[in-house]
Structure 1
Amino acid sequence: MGFWETSGFNYHTFADLPERKLIVLINAMTREDIIEWLIWNDPNGIYHDEHSLKELGNILTRSEGIEILLRQIEENRVT
């Protein structure tokens, strides 16, 4: 079972967490968990390995996924 099935968080509540808690949880996530959230948040993005290889010639690494995830959350926060 992945992060989303065991953590008790859904995509929305996860994105609304304070930054410190968010970082702790992200560190517990796998690359696949991160990609799952990215696909939910940005369905037009290129995150699936097959699409990424075809369009970009490589796959999204875990660290790249974390960077994108954090940026998307920050961009969507209301100040």
Structure 2
Amino acid sequence: MTLPEDRLLTEVRAMSREQLIDWLSWNDRNGIYRDEDSLAEFGNLMTKEEGEEIMFRQIMSERDGWDGRMDSKQIY
């Protein structure tokens, strides 16, 4: 994903929770994102907002110079 940071954030926020789960599961096969796995492992479900942060962080952490922020919130 080579979109500028603001455009990437818009795209991530436009995704449904299910789309986020699908992308996160594809991108990180060892992660626990699917509801049944999350309930079994942690006893709760990932919210849409948590999924947005995780996806954004996973993409942006690969970019040089990223300051760890999503909008003005520190997430990394």
Matched with 1:48 is: 34
8 Å Cα contact 2:38-2:46 kept in structure 1: yes
Structure 1 regions of 5+ residues with no counterpart?
1-14
C-alpha distance in 2, partners of 1:71/1:23? 10
TM-score (norm 2): 0.77
Aligned residues: 65
Q: Which one has the bigger strand percentage? A: 2
TM-score (norm 1): 0.74
Q: Deviations over 1:1-38 (max 9, x none)?
A: xxxxxxxxxxxxxx221111111112211001111111
**Over aligned residue pairs, what C-alpha RMSD do you find?**
1.3
Q: Percent identity?
A: 52
Structure 2 regions of 5+ residues with no counterpart?
66-76
List, as ranges, runs of 4+ consecutive aligned residues in structure 1 with deviation greater than 6 Å: none
Matched with 2:8 is: 22
